[in-house]
């Protein structure tokens, strides 16, 4: 016996945050088979199941602005930044020579690591929104063989295999996972 379940975005509505209708392709399919190899003695059974999903969604989050990446945090209301001695940085601006070395190198990678905002607002507000998709690929199968020695003695062997891969959308540069 074979089976398939299919769903797509044709009848879907867009959510409040979506610009358009995100892609949706869900394919779940497989089959099962079995029978006698030797009548009343030796039997087999097997099944397979596959999943191929692309589930679109809008990812929203907060990322630092270009100004904030240089240490100028003056656009964040009510923020008071202090150095290690407790002294306040005037105007909530951290001098370039006091920025963490790792943070400077990380931010220096630019949009290859963290995109710039595409909505108004600074850190702590939802200032980044983009369409993306979750990708899922599953492959599973099972095989079983039964042997009846007598009415009271029997033996079986079963073997199964499964492999699953899921790619989740994120705020990083690797956000466009949809094909």
Edge-to-edge strands, sheet with 154-167: 2-8, 24-38, 42-61, 128-148, 154-167
Residue pLDDT tens, the chain, 179 long: 999 999 998 888 888 888 788 889 999 999 999 999 999 999 999 999 999 999 988 888 888 888 988 899 988 888 888 888 888 999 899 998 988 999 888 888 877 788 889 999 887 889 988 888 889 999 999 999 999 999 899 999 999 999 999 888 777 655 544 44
Tokens in use for 146?
């039964």
Is the pTM higher than 0.75? no
């Amino acid at each position: 016996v074979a089976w398939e379940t299919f769903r797509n975005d044709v009848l879907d509505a867009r959510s409040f945050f979506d610009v358009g209708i995100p892609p949706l392709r869900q394919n779940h399919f497989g089959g099962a088979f079995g029978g006698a190899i030797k009548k009343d003695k030796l039997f087999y059974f097997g099944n397979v199941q596959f999943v191929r999903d692309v589930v679109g969604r809008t990812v929203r989050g907060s990322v630092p602005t270009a100004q904030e990446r240089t240490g100028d945090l003056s656009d964040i209301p009510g923020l008071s930044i202090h150095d290690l001695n407790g002294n306040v940085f005037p105007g909530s601006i951290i001098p370039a020579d006091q920025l963490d070395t790792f943070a400077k190198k990380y931010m220096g990678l630019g949009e290859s690591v963290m995109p710039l905002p595409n909505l108004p607002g600074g850190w702590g507000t939802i200032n980044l929104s983009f369409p993306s998709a979750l990708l899922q690929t599953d492959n599973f199968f099972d095989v079983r063989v039964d042997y009846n020695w007598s009415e009271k003695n029997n033996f079986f062997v079963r073997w199964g295999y499964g492999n699953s891969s899921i790619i989740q959308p994120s705020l990083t540069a690797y956000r466009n996972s949809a094909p």
